[in-house]
Structure 1
Amino acid sequence: MYKRVRLKDTVEVPPKHLADVTPQLVKQLLQDKLEGRMDEEVGSVVSVIEVHDIGDGAVIPNRPGVYYEAEFDALTFDPEMQEVIDGEVVEVVNFGAFIGIGPVDGLLHVSQISNEYLAFDDENQQLASRDSNAVLGVGDAVRARIVTKSIDERNPRDSKIGLTAKQPGLGKHGWLKEERQNAAASE
């Protein structure tokens, strides 16, 4: 889930910029420091939006810059357990599909995609059913639910998000549309 949050952090202003410590400069330094980083409490910082307050600078011995505490708004992405998300298949492997959900990818394991057996088609980079015409490939839009989450603050790309699409109303958008059309035709 995307959220706008008010945060505080300390930023080092290099000596060459000390004559002009502006909100715009502090915003740029905060962006360089925080964007793309993961935090257990707020999730992944997508963007620093606006700097509201810059405190007095502090000098630390043997360090060239001056440290300022800043209060700012940031856009964050924090996936929540049981949240339903829409994403796009970014990679298909023999054990499932990786779904792009914001700044991270979630794994939709092959056992959590469908009740049908899906075989991996290495040549076409897709998962295909032998019983029906169901195919899941790169670029397909998918609706899934977050069922597991393990956030790695040091290396956000190693964070693990587990997804399921086996519940009603979840799955590849094309399959969901077909289900609705079949239900309407049978009424």
Structure 2
Amino acid sequence: MFYLTEVEDHIRVEPKLFGLPTLEAVDMQLRETYLDYYDKELGQVISVIEVLEVGGGVIIPGDGAAYYKTSFKLLVWKPEMHEIVYGAIAEIASFGAFINMGIMRGMIHISQTMEDYVSFSKTSTLTGKATKRSLKEGDLCLARIVAISHKGEEPKIGLTMRQPGLGKMEWIKEDQMKKEKEAKKALAIEAKTTKKSGGKK
């Protein structure tokens, strides 16, 4: 989920930026420091939106940089359990698929790709035995986050597409059209039955 969050930190401004106005130097250092930064509590930093306040600078003996107590606003994305995400299949493997969510990648185990028995083919596609539905690199999908592990520098995100309204976009459209067709058929049968009974149910 996307958040706008305010953060307070002591920003280490390198000597190469000393010739700039303090606010500009801090802003540049923030963008460099927080580029692709991930924190378990904060999330993945997408952008430094605004520098809100910069305090006085402090130089620590033995360190040529200056430290400024700074409050600033960040745009972050933090994966949340049960959140629905949209992305493209980036890679197909024998054990499942990796989906690129733009900011991070998640993994869908082969058993969670669709409501079917799924097999991996030599053409790097996952195919359902009964439905004949296939999943390949580049397919656009909706998935739900079902697991988040923070072992390592980046979180490992587990996803599922075995729920109504999830999966490859074409499948979702097909299912929706099927439901609409079934609903129209049911209404037609009901109207026909009502007509035969003289308008009485």
What TM-score comes out, normalization by structure 2 length? Answer: 0.85
1:26-45 deviation per Cα after TM superposition (whole angstroms, max 9, x unaligned):
12211111121111111111
Equivalent runs, 1:66-105 vs 2, <5 Å: 66-105=66-105
Amino acid at match of 2:139: D
The structure having more radius of gyration, on CA atoms, is 2
Is the 1:55–1:69 contact (alpha carbons within 8 Å) kept by the matching residues of 2? yes
Distance in 1 separating the partners of 2:37 and 2:56: 25
Distance in 2 separating the partners of 1:138 and 1:54: 46
Match of 2:153 among 149, 152, 155: 155
Q: Which has the higher contact order (CA 8 A, sep 6+)?
A: 1
What TM-score comes out, normalization by structure 1 length? Answer: 0.91
**1:137 paired residue number:** 136
Amino acid at match of 2:12: E
| Structure 1 residue 146: Cα displacement | 0.7
User: Percent of aligned positions with the same letter in both sequences?
Assistant: 36
1:119-160 deviation per Cα after TM superposition (whole angstroms, max 9, x unaligned):
1123x32111233330111111111111110135x622xx20
Tell me the SS of whatever aligns to 2:4: strand
Amino acid at match of 1:48: V
Amino acid at match of 1:82: H
Is the 2:114–2:162 contact (alpha carbons within 8 Å) kept by the matching residues of 1? yes
Give structure 2 stretches of 5+ with no counterpart.
185-201
1:75-103 deviation per Cα after TM superposition (whole angstroms, max 9, x unaligned):
10101111111111111111111111232
Is the 2:18–2:25 contact (alpha carbons within 8 Å) kept by the matching residues of 1? no
**2:193 paired residue number:** none
**1:22 paired residue number:** 22
| Structure 1 residue 180: Cα displacement | 0.9
Is the 1:77–1:102 contact (alpha carbons within 8 Å) kept by the matching residues of 2? no
Residues 1:126 and 2:122 are matched in the alignment: no
Of 107-116 and 124-133, deviating more is 124-133
**1:180 paired residue number:** 176
Distance in 1 separating the partners of 2:31 and 2:95: 36
Distance in 1 separating the partners of 2:81 and 2:15: 44
| Structure 1 residue 52: Cα displacement | 1.1
**1:5 paired residue number:** 5
Is the 1:87–1:101 contact (alpha carbons within 8 Å) kept by the matching residues of 2? yes
